[in-house]
Amino acid sequence: MRSTNEKAKQFWSGEGGDFWVENQEELDVTLEPLGRAALTNIDLSSCASVLDIGCGTGRTTIEIAKKLAANGKATGLDISKPMLKKAKMHAQAEGVENVSFDCVDAQVESLGDAVFDAAFSRFGVMFFEDSMEAFSNIQGALKEDAPLSFVCWQSPASNPWHARAMEVVTQYIDIPRPPRRSPSPFAFEERDYVEEILVAAKFRKIEIMPFEKKIVWFNGKDPHRAASSYLSINPIVSEGLAALDDEGKEKILAGLANLFSLNQIDGQIMFDSATWIVSAIK
């Protein structure tokens, strides 16, 4: 196998993966309605084998497995060892047997030839060094006429959960924006770029629909605990914080806690979100 996505592998099997494992229940509450919007594009009752790309701790893979026809099987792929370990523990704890989790780089490793009835992803496809190669690989693993459906973020500016918090943080530390289209949560913010990738990968009937929804962040946490959590989500923020004095850190924490308290509804921190719900057919 060619060596690629090394930075992503390091991050997702290191601090990024550890954070998701620790905060998985909270993140599942945040992301569940967005994943559900993408999953409705796939008729699971008619599928025998479904691929979940960048499945993380496996919530969506397990949900898919439960909805499949008799003898149906869901396969979750990821490059994060700690997240896959957690995914397997979840499946076991819930007694879900028609599921498997494998450590596979969806961009470069073989996913099989025309073996899946559908492919899905909840925020797991924006981290490839070469997205064209990755989606061609995914296309090859789908059977003829099989659907692909995934959800990804629109721009940071249309996602105030990110933009507003970054406004607070960048008053005190300099956080460079990743280069346009480079692997990151916002790599697919441009609709035309997503379409270009899917056309190059020979998908048909491509639809990229905007989906806007208020979502819960830091489920059940008060604004102060949420502010501390926020600072550990983002590795670039944590890095910048290390160089900041205690007074600066306190100011960021207070600014974030204030932002979160202004965005509380019925005791939950809620922000608008904007995603693309992307669907296509092989």
Ligand X SMILES: C[S@@+](CC[C@H](N)C(=O)[O-])C[C@H]1O[C@@H](n2cnc3c(N)ncnc32)[C@H](O)[C@@H]1O
Confirm if 125 and 152 have CB atoms less than 8 A apart: yes
Q: How far is the CB of 146 from ligand X (least distance, A)?
A: 19
Q: Up-side HSE of residue 46: CA atoms within 13 Å toward CB?
A: 8
- 77 forms beta bridges with 53, 102
Q: How far is the CB of 83 from ligand X (least distance, A)?
A: 5
In angstroms, rounded to a whole number, what is the distance separating the alpha carbons of residues 5 and 148? Answer: 22
Q: Which of 54, 82, 147, 240 binds ligand X (CB under 6 A)?
A: 54
CB nearer to ligand X: give 161 or 257. 161
Query: What Cα–Cα distance (Å) separates residue 150 from each residue in 6, 66, 99, 200, 227?
Result: 23, 19, 19, 17, 29
CB nearer to ligand X: give 3 or 71. 3
- Stretch near ligand X under the rule CB under 6 A, chosen from 54-62, 161-169, 202-210, 218-226: 54-62
**Cβ neighbours of 20 (radius 10 Å):** 20
Contact string (CB under 6 A) for ligand X, positions 222-241, x = contact: --------------------
Listed residue (102, 97, 66, 99) closest to 84, CA to CA? 102
In angstroms, rounded to a whole number, what is the distance separating the alpha carbons of residues 157 and 164? Answer: 9
In angstroms, rounded to a whole number, what is the distance separating the alpha carbons of residues 267 and 81? Answer: 35
- Stretch near ligand X under the rule CB under 6 A, chosen from 101-109, 189-197, 217-225, 248-256: 101-109
Q: How far is the CB of 46 from ligand X (least distance, A)?
A: 23
Query: Looking only at residues 23 through 42 of this chain, which bind ligand X when binding is defined by CB under 6 A?
Result: 31
Q: How far is the CB of 201 from ligand X (least distance, A)?
A: 15
- Stretch near ligand X under the rule CB under 6 A, chosen from 55-63, 67-75, 187-195, 252-260: 55-63
Query: Looking only at residues 150 through 179 of this chain, which bind ligand X when binding is defined by CB under 6 A?
Result: none
By the 10 Å C-beta count (0-12 exposed, 13-18 middle, 19+ buried), 224 is classed as: middle
Would strands 49-53 and 264-265 be described as parallel, antiparallel, or unpaired?
unpaired
Confirm if 120 and 53 have CB atoms less than 8 A apart: yes
- Stretch near ligand X under the rule CB under 6 A, chosen from 49-57, 213-221, 250-258, 269-277: 49-57
CB nearer to ligand X: give 34 or 252. 34
CB nearer to ligand X: give 141 or 253. 141
Contact status: 78 vs ligand X (CB under 6 A): yes
Q: How far is the CB of 250 from ligand X (least distance, A)?
A: 29
Query: Looking only at residues 103 through 132 of this chain, which bind ligand X when binding is defined by CB under 6 A?
Result: 105-107, 122-124, 127-128
Number of residues that bind ligand X (CB under 6 A): 22
Confirm if 70 and 98 have CB atoms less than 8 A apart: no
CB nearer to ligand X: give 31 or 252. 31
In angstroms, rounded to a whole number, what is the distance separating the alpha carbons of residues 246 and 27? Answer: 28
Listed residue (282, 281, 276) closest to 34, CA to CA? 276
Contact status: 148 vs ligand X (CB under 6 A): no
Which residues would be at the binding site for ligand X (CB under 6 A)?
Answer: 5, 8, 12, 31, 54-56, 59-60, 77-80, 83, 105-107, 122-124, 127-128
